[in-house]
Structure 1
Amino acid sequence: MILTRLTKIVLLALVGCSTIVNGKEYIGFVVDNTGSMFNEIVAVKDWITQCVSSLGICGDTPNVVREWLSVSFNDPTIGALTGPTDNTNLITQAVNGYLPASGGGDCPELAMKGLQKLAVGIPLVNDGCKIFFFSDATPKNPILLSAVFQILADRGCDFEPILTGCCGTCPSYCTSPNPRLCIDELKKSFGSEDAIPPLYRLAARTASPVHVVAKPSSSAAMVTTLRREVSFGIARWGPWSSCSVTCGNGVNTRSCYHRGKVVETSRCGDGPSKKDCSMPACPPCEDERTDCLVVKLFHRLCGKVDGKCRKTCDQC
């Protein structure tokens, strides 16, 4: 590990800049291929195929070469690593090969070893790195957490898990794009950083969201969810805002981020940037008539009635 860090430092010094760019992004897929993941695996293959054929539908069309990697895991095996490659057919064929014949239902799985195998296949020198993780189980080997995080940190990789289960119900999670705030929030929920589930800690440390998705009834339903909520490339959706009103009907909004900066929402795929929200009903409005000047000081809108001002329901 020391040699790896030293090598990176030397490379940085040689080019005389703080960031090495080699014109390549690396996108990885780590897929749980137990029997219970059939719909999810078909969805991942279809999602990749759709996104590659028309990148605009999934956001963040790259202006660099994109390389792909994939690996499967279960218990007791880890699949062969496919990639890095710029041939997306190889990746979709590999994912299609993960389809299980039967089985599933056991828990946990060798998630960390699968993630580790893929992550070390990504070069230290890259122009973007993101790993998607699909599972409905918890990791069997959380002792590898620190080692895996260091591999991701050395490569500057985002880790974005999409969970359709956690050997049961998945716990609450953090959507803040700020790693420190996310860790602090999760510590309040779980009592200490060590008690935070491993996959959640990895996501929080790389400022990435955790997507907790209902077990899909079909692969098509899962593809719809992925296209709506997950940015295919390095850009990603930030958390939803609180409702715009304290009572009645309002909206939630969210922004699209690329390396911590807000960018065009189109780079985050075809998901919405706004959605409706509802709060408890507002109290009844009174026909309050008073001096117009007083009302204007406290209410932006004012309707005149018989020379007086009146609050309307929209102003309550």
Structure 2
Amino acid sequence: MFRFEQLTYFVTTVEKGSLNKAAKALYISQPALTKQLAQLESQLACVLFHRRMTGIELTEAGRYFYERACMILEQVEQTVEGIKRFSRQNPLRIGALPSIANYYLPDIIAAYTEDEQSRVSITVRDTTSELVALLEQGSLDLAFAQDFAGHAELPGRELFQEPYLAVLPAHHPMAEQETVDFLAFCREKLLIHRDPCDIRSNFRRYCNKLGIQPENVLELDFNDSLLTYAAKGQGLTFVPQMMAEGIRDPHLTVRPFEQPFTRTIDVIFQRDAAGEVEQLCLKKESAS
């Protein structure tokens, strides 16, 4: 017997007119969607549509099944909406990297009502892989991470990109420049978070891309303050833009790199949390 999820896949494909557009709307890969629809046709023992250069073309069986599938989905949606009045709202479990939890999420949470805030819980982890593991276990509904490479079962949505900025002691010669040369920056004493850390991993990948290897590095645990060490003149560091915008220490100067490197901020979520993701994004837009 076919699954409810396959009905959603089929109806979305029909309404979008092509497998490519449907896959994007469903946050899955096109091969995965094709496989699910092939299994559906096998289970029904009939062909539902033909692929054409211009999209898909429904067979007579496909048109009949589409009408029935729409009715089933509508009835399920009505039932789910109706049952909500019999139960309390489930808590919304959000995961995030430390920088995102401290500098991005507060504006979103502030846009919630007090009742909504009471059902939100936030879990912080150092790496995207840790957050993905919690999502796989069903311990989170959604997670704000960076540089998400994709997942067979978990949808992801890119939110924005932001650069890393150099943070220098105010008396450092580089602080007098409008921009900082990344190669020269890497020859200085650097303050960097200890692994595992996504920001550290991103920095390492960028250095490898440029063929350089910083040698004078002081590693700190994530709970230590890089900015405090930098303000004391113990070295140079770098932080994401969202964090840099909050620096008010007169002993520190923030400068962009001449060869900027960036990170992508993504939200990864359970399929049934897609509605919550949309609401979160709307709240962020209204808070900005």
Q: Which of the five TM-score ranges fits, normalised by the shorter chain?
A: under 0.3
Task: Pick the structure with more helix per residue.
Answer: 2
Task: Give the TM-score of the pair, scaled to structure 1.
Answer: 0.22
Task: Give the TM-score of the pair, scaled to structure 2.
Answer: 0.23
